[in-house]
Structures are given as structure tokens and as C-alpha cells.
Amino acid sequence: MTAPEETAELPGRTLIEQGAPVAGSMSRAAATVVFEPSAAKVTISASFAASLRTVATEAAGLPAPREQVRAGAALAFAVEYAATQHRAGRAARTDGWCDGRAGGRPAAEDLAEAVVAAARRSTDERRVRHLGYLLAEMSCSPDLDAGLAGRALRSSEGLSWRQLALLAGVGRRDRVPLPMAPLPDAPRPWSEWGAREDVADLQRAGLVDPPMSAPRPAATLPRLRAADLRLTRSGVLVHRLLALDLLHEDAVTEALAALGLPRS
């Protein structure tokens, strides 16, 4: 049996290839990068690839087929983003991120397992792409530690796709101005009410400023405008690690339209 035939039968490689319904045709190429790098057309850090091999192999026995799809897609997206960063000249971290630790395995593998678990639970599969991006972003971000990665992952798990799109819009407000019209406090249409609650939840979660204001009797507070929203430090962390700059502009436009606000 030849080496390519041997790697083709590896369950971890099969898992990444099974991500195709979510990640598309690049899943097969991503699996090659991880399990047969000499045959791949793009490159990622060897140590990061080793971490992905380990976690893909461990996750290959997932019982639910659609969970396998999402897990494989998250790892494929991680490969895609890591390869893009490598081509852009961003070096993989060399601070031991992918090395074993006393009494435990590498932080990279711990995070990869957590990302796979989050992807499995993401029934809105549009989120899976950005979970994979989080894993790859950490592989070239020596200024961030495992605790910060875990914080961003936990914060993002509670967010809907529309809330991610709203965060993306706030994060790019300097390039694409947000609407100046005030947000309605209690819109009548259910769809607009739900979108307004999404903004309020982002405020309550401490991801965007200004924070929620407590009602004051006999006082008129200025109405919040979309243009007033800014990322908090926590919001910047989530925005950076999920690479929300890459979230498609159409999704941001749709989220703002749900608020009943035109784009500026």
C-alpha cells in the first residue's frame, strides 16, 4: 500500500473531508494539508497541523453524522485561515502553544477540542466558519493566552448569527458608517423587536458600549443610535479571534435591516 493510500484511510482525514457540506470542496484540500503536507499546495505550521491531526483523529468517532460534518468543517476552516495567514507572512507562534505541558497536553489541542465541541453544537452552521478561524487565529497570536481564547469562545457560543453580524458591523464602523437613526425602544413588529433585543443582549454581555441604562423616573434619556455603538475590550477580543472582519457584508446589511434602520 502506498503512502497516499494509507493516509486516505485515516479516520481523522475522513472527518475533515466530511466537512464539505458546510466548508465546501476545500475540505479535501484541507485534509491533505493536515495529513499529507508533502502533497499539499499550501502550507501551515507543522506543529499546528500536528495538533489538528490529533484532534481530528479523536473526533472521528462522533456518533451523529451532522456533528461529524460540523466538526470536520471547523477544522477545514482553521486550515484555510492558517494557510492564508502563512501566505500573508504572519508567523506561527513559537512560545510553546503547540507543545506538551507538565501534566497535560498542548494548549493548542485543548482549544481545538473545545472548538470542535462548539462546532458540533452549532445548529446554525454559518457560525462554524468563524469557530475555525478562532482556532487558527490563536495559532499566530502570541499576545493571547489559552484563558483569553476560552473567554472568547464562551462569549461567542451564546451569540446568534445576527448578533455576530451586528458585532462585525460595529467593528468596522470606521470604514462603513452605521446608521444615525435612533433605535426604537419597543418596536411593534416582532422581527424588529427581536433584533433590538439582540443589541440589548450584546450590551448586557459587555461586548458593546454604551452599557444598558437603567430607567430613571421623570427623565428623558437620549435614544441610542446604531452609530453610538462601540466594541468593548471583550467585544474586540471576540471580534478579533472570530475574524469578524471577514464576515460577509451582506450579513451585516441584513442584521441592520432587521432593526428597521437604513444604511448610512
Is residue 178 within 8 Å of 229, Cβ to Cβ? yes
Residue (of 183, 175, 192) closest to 228 by Cα position: 183
Tell me how far CA of residue 225 lies from CA of 172, 181, 199, 201, 210, in angstroms. Answer: 16, 6, 11, 16, 10
Residue (of 161, 172, 177) closest to 263 by Cα position: 177
- For residues 222 and 148, which has the higher predicted lDDT (pLDDT)? 148
What is the C-alpha separation between 17 and 226, in angstroms, rounded? 41
Q: What is the per-residue pLDDT for 234?
A: 97
Give this prediction's pTM. 0.91
Judged against a pLDDT cut of 70, whether residue 220 lies above it is answered with no
Encode 30-48: b = buried (16+ Cβ within 10 Å), e = exposed: bbbbbbbeeebebebbebb
Question: How confident is the model over 90-128, as pLDDT tens digits?
Answer: 999 999 999 988 778 899 999 999 999 999 999 999 999
- Give the mean pLDDT of the chain: 92
Question: How confident is the model over 153-163, as pLDDT tens digits?
Answer: 999 999 999 99
Grid cell, residue 115, equals 472548538
Judged against a pLDDT cut of 80, whether residue 202 lies above it is answered with yes
List 129's β-bridge partners, or say none. Answer: none
Residue (of 67, 92, 69) closest to 14 by Cα position: 69
Residue (of 63, 34, 64) closest to 50 by Cα position: 34
Tell me how far CA of residue 80 lies from CA of 34, 84, 235, in angstroms. Answer: 11, 6, 24
Q: What is the per-residue pLDDT for 1?
A: 44
3-state secondary structure 234-246: HHHHHHHHCCHHH
Instruction: For the chain, give the number of residues.
Output: 264
Q: What is the per-residue pLDDT for 100?
A: 85
